[in-house]
Each structure stands twice: as C-alpha cells, then as structure tokens.
Amino acid sequence: TPSPSGCAAGSARSRAGEQGRAGPGTIGLAFTRSGRGFSVSSVRQEGPARLAGIEVGDELIRVDGIGLGGKSQKAAAELLKGPAGSRVRLAVIRRDDEGGVPRELEFVLARAEIMQ
C-alpha cells in the first residue's frame, strides 16, 4: 500500500495558518518500498513535488540528508512531515527509460498546507 507523505497538497489556509501558526504541511506524493529507498507511486497534481519536477517512478533515497535505506514507510513519512511553508530537500534516483542509466537528482521544495 502506498504511504502518503501527508498526502493531500493544497493551497488553502487552515485556521491555524490564519492565526499566524503554520498548519501541517505536505509535499503531495505517495510511495512504496523499493530498492535503496521508496518508489514514488503517485504525485499530486499542483502539489509541491509535481511543481518541483518529481515524477512517478523516481526512487526517493534521502530526505534532508537522511538515507532511507532500512527505514520503514512510517519512518520515511515522518521525515517528510513538517509545517506548511517549511523546506525539505529530497534526493531521488531517476532512470530516463527502461534499463537506462540512473541519475541522482536533488530537489528542494516548500511544504504546502494540507486542505481539510
């Protein structure tokens, strides 16, 4: 089963955000265990991950410099959580085509507020 990273991405403000406190944030992707980390299984339309260029099939291997090898899906999802507006650095492995040469890519994105 895919593990959401705080799944629903959106731009609506929560009550907490309107009162000056950032609500929980999301990067808008789901993933499943694979290889050295986790394979991105879905990317939310208009979410931070899609806007940054993360694609379905990318293998998520690090979050803020922390390797995901050996981590549970729950532990990986916890690393992706943070307040809306906070930044997170993701490293992924991408293969351009079947059997293609893998490339490591790094993305820095801001978490979006979760729509209720």
| pLDDT tens by residue, 50-101 | 999 999 999 999 999 999 999 999 999 999 999 999 999 999 999 877 777 8
User: What pLDDT, on a 0 to 100 scale, did the predictor assign at position 21?
Assistant: 60
pLDDT at 97: 75
- The domains of the chain are located at 3-113
Looking at domain 3-113, its CATH superfamily turns out to be PDZ domain (2.30.42.10)
DSSP class of 43:
E
Quote the pLDDT of residue 50: 96
DSSP states of 50-98 as a string? Answer: HHHT--TT-EEEEETTEE-TT--HHHHHHHH-EETT-EEEEEEEEESST
How many Å apart are CA 88 and CA 100, to the nearest integer? Answer: 28
DSSP state of 13: P
Phi, psi dihedral angles at 51 (to 5 degrees): -65, -30
Of 115, 116, 112, which is closest to residue 47 (Cα–Cα)? 112
Residue 27's pLDDT band, with cuts at 50, 70 and 90, is: very high
Amino acid at residue number 84: A
Is the model more confident about 24 or about 11?
24
Q: Does this model's pTM top 0.85?
A: no
